[in-house]
Amino acid sequence: MTDVLIRNGRLVTAEHDFQADLLMSGEFIAAVGENLAAPPGAEIVEAAGLLVVPGGVDAHTHLDLGLGAAHVSDGWFLGSRAAAYGGTTCVVEHPGFGPEGCPLEHQLNIYRKNAVESAIDYGLHGVFQHWDERAARDLPELVRAGCPSFKAYLTYGGRLDDGALLAALKVLGATGGLMTVHAENHAIVSHLAADLESSAPHLASSHPRSRPGYAEALAVDTAICLAEAAGGAPLYIVHLSAAAGLEHVRAARAAGKKVWAETCPQYLVLTDDCYEGDFGQALKYVMAPTPRKREDVLTLWRGLLDGTISVVASDHCSFAWADKKTRAAGNVFRSPGGVPGVETRLPLLYSEGVVKRGMSLSRWVELVSTAPARLFGLTGKGGLQAGFDADVVVFDPHFEKKLAAENLHQAVDYTPFEDLLVRGWPKMVFARGRKIVDGERFMGEPGSGRFVARQPFSAY
């Protein structure tokens, strides 16, 4: 593998922002400093006027999700290729539910087998869909085997009730694991959805009305309290969308509790206005939780800027728009839920956060790379120091792109951010020292990514 010297770039990490050179040798960063000498035969990348940042870490993807007869449109290779084009060099995938009663390792084994097609590195979260003696027995070994984070749902068929979640939190916390929670109160969501499906299934606006912000807030508060009862087990709230839920996270963190939260670009850009108008168009935005009010968007941005929210992930889930329309057949509650976003995550946060709202470059890097790497045990990723994996993005802060399905690489027939003008885009992407994106040219291969056995949780 050819050594690569990136010269005269503006290197940005979660801690520092400085002009320097960066040398990659083999799969690792060999040196960072001024006026580095190029080894014989090294490739020279001139980065004057460009940013050099750690490869993005997307801690919440569904590249290979099936939901009944529906399946996302990309899969591991195409999804990981899109991630790479957007500057992400590692994902941590959330598996879907397996057969009823299956052991914890069932979904991990299936997803790891399929993930051999990935073009970038990947980790796997576990998923709880029940709690029993076998799960309690098997959990510590799975944490030791490199899967230290598990997801619990507080709604849907595979949800954990309060007693099961408390028990799982206690065991997971004691074995070096991190619980991630989809926080929506099932009683509220199922009650409202049943009423609205009976009375107004033909209105796309029935979807957000069935999943109100207060249902998220109640579930967030419940999870925080159960984690405290479990001896202060660490807790991570996925895809936070509502101001009321954020306030529970803010209070918990102010009290010193081990609680972290992520949000996603869709909750920072979209509002529930997207469900008005044409029913077919509105199906593009069927997701759970749903975009909220303008006030929620502004509150989430404040949470990002003041440090209350720790991570921005994509929750990429690329059910095709055509599939949504076919399966909905006039009933919004029959549409598969989820939106694509693995390619647009880094540029959107740069454009909307750094350019428009004055977010520091270091905070941007922390949210999209460093914090998810540290929270989820991806040692050697999320930074630009010697000895780290050579996952590096050369980012053009001036390049502008109007987002559209046809100029993105996500294998899906729409983007929820259609016609949004984004300033800033990856120019070159390296994964373990190998150039995999050069402008519009993809140079990676199926299977060039590796499974990363993650380390046990350590508070960040």
* Three-state SS at 306: helix
> Given a cut of 80, is residue 460 above it in pLDDT?
no
- Give pLDDT, residue 217: 98
CA dist 155 to 120, 162, 243, 362, 441, Å? Answer: 31, 11, 20, 36, 42
Residue 87: give its domain's CATH number.
3.20.20.140
Q: What is the pLDDT of residues 81-128, one digit of tens each?
A: 999 999 999 999 999 999 999 999 999 999 999 999 999 999 999 999
Q: What is the pLDDT of residues 128-172, one digit of tens each?
A: 999 999 999 999 999 999 999 999 999 999 999 999 999 999 999
190 token code pair = 């199922």
Residue 39 lies in a domain: yes
**232 and 132 in one domain?**
yes
**173 and 29 in one domain?**
no
Residue 218 near residue 188 (C-beta atoms within 8 A)? yes
**68 and 9 in one domain?**
no
Instruction: Show Cβ contacts of residue 8 under 8 Å, excluding neighbours closer than 6 positions.
Output: 19, 21, 46, 47, 48
Residue 267 near residue 241 (C-beta atoms within 8 A)? yes
Q: What is the pLDDT of residues 342-378, one digit of tens each?
A: 999 999 999 999 999 999 999 999 999 999 999 999 9
**38 and 81 in one domain?**
no
216 token code pair = 């998220």
**322 and 246 in one domain?**
yes
Nearest one of 215, 204, 257, 258 to 240, comparing CA atoms:
215
**402 and 286 in one domain?**
no
The DSSP result for 76-119, as a single string, is HHHHHHHHHHTTEEEEEE-----STT--THHHHHHHHHHGGG-S
- Give pLDDT, residue 141: 97
* Three-state SS at 444: coil
Range of the domain at 62: 55-375
Residue 258 lies in a domain: yes
**114 and 24 in one domain?**
no
State the average pLDDT over residues 12-25.
Answer: 98
Residue 460 lies in a domain: no
460 token code pair = 């960040």
Residue 397: give its domain's CATH number.
2.30.40.10
**67 and 29 in one domain?**
no
Q: How far apart are CA 139 and CA 126, in angstroms?
A: 9
> Given a cut of 90, is residue 419 above it in pLDDT?
yes
Nearest one of 201, 92, 190, 21 to 453, comparing CA atoms:
92
Residue 448 lies in a domain: no
**44 and 186 in one domain?**
no
Residue 125 lies in a domain: yes
235-237, strands of its sheet edge to edge: 126-127, 149-153, 178-182, 235-237, 259-263, 311-312
Q: What is the pLDDT of residues 168-221, one digit of tens each?
A: 999 999 999 999 999 999 999 999 999 999 999 999 999 999 999 999 999 999
State the average pLDDT over residues 418-440.
Answer: 98
Domain tally, the chain: 2
Residue 269 near residue 352 (C-beta atoms within 8 A)? yes
**197 and 152 in one domain?**
yes
Express as a percent the part of the chain with pLDDT over 90. 98
**62 and 49 in one domain?**
no
Residue 173 near residue 230 (C-beta atoms within 8 A)? yes
Residue 459 lies in a domain: no
Residue 438 lies in a domain: yes
**61 and 19 in one domain?**
no
Round the average pLDDT of the chain to a whole number and report it: 97
Phi, psi for residue 313 in degrees, rounded to 5: -115, 175
